[in-house]
Amino acid sequence: MAEKIKGLLVAGTMAAGFILATGTPAAAAYTCNDNEVCFYDGGDYTGTVLVAVHGGNGTLTKKGTGQVLDDFSGLTFSNGTNANDRVSSVINNTGWCIDIYPHSWYGSENGQTYWLPKDSRSNMPSSLHDQVSSSRFVWGLEGC
């Protein structure tokens, strides 16, 4: 009788471990909410994320801390790792366009500035993949 109970406990532990292991990847990707801009470390909106909201005067600020997204070297993803030169995909769930820059303080070089329309999403082009260092709202462009 003792042997039978022991065997059942082992089987139960293994089943629980299997559920945890297979459930983790599906829970990893953050679902970007309305009025948020979400910067993902992974392509196709996966991996750890930096979530931003409108901070006034056209700025994007990190949700929860209020840090302005003018220099990603001072910002972290939700898992605590530094966000500078790591972003691979972005979701813009706001009603305004955003500009995404390869340098801090909204700096760019020819052809590198990238803008994302309102309510849209994109993987970063090769010129910005793992190179994003600042971002803000932009107006005046057609469609923005």
Rule CB under 5 A: which residues touch Ca ion? 41, 86, 88, 130
Shortest Cβ 52–Ca ion spacing (Å): 17
Q: Are the C-beta atoms of residues 69 and 80 closer than 8 Å to each other?
A: no
> Which of residues 48 and 67 has its CB atom nearest to Ca ion in the complex?
48
> Which of residues 44 and 119 has its CB atom nearest to Ca ion in the complex?
44
> Which of residues 14 and 125 has its CB atom nearest to Ca ion in the complex?
125
Shortest Cβ 36–Ca ion spacing (Å): 19
Shortest Cβ 130–Ca ion spacing (Å): 5
Shortest Cβ 64–Ca ion spacing (Å): 21
> Which of residues 118 and 129 has its CB atom nearest to Ca ion in the complex?
129
